[in-house]
Amino acid sequence: MIVPFGHVLLLAALLFLMGLSCTIARRNLVMILIGVEIMLNASGLALVASSLRWMSMDGQALTALILGVAASEVTVGLALVMAVRRASGSLDADRQTALKEDDR
């Protein structure tokens, strides 16, 4: 045996909550994206563990799909970060208060 299934779930929950706290508490846009990445990774860990628990390939297949979702999310997210940085000159999420580029 490796470990009880619940321990893997707890590890995944801890990582997910850390990513969530990072997304909520940090103000830097790049750190917010990093928090989202941590959350996606933690959900993948829980899925792989469930795949082993029930001896089914569904969890691993879903994790492979999550990899694609994470890749596209980070691509668009970082492009948005660059666009925001170009528009306002700052990466601080609290400082993005204007909808138009000129009104700041």
Residues 52-91 that bind another protein (CB under 8 A): 52-53, 55, 57-58, 60-65, 67-76, 78-83, 85-86, 91
Report the C-alpha gap between 13 and 77 in whole angstroms: 24
Tokens of 60: 């691993």
Does position 20 bind another protein by CB under 8 A?
A: yes
In contact, 81 and 91? CB cutoff 8 Å: yes
Residue bearing tokens 């850390």 = 18
Does position 93 bind another protein by CB under 8 A?
A: no
The 8-class DSSP code of residue 99 comes to S
Positions that interact with another protein (CB under 8 A): 1-11, 13-15, 17-22, 24-28, 30-31, 33-35, 37-38, 41, 44-45, 48-49, 51-53, 55, 57-58, 60-65, 67-76, 78-83, 85-86, 91-92
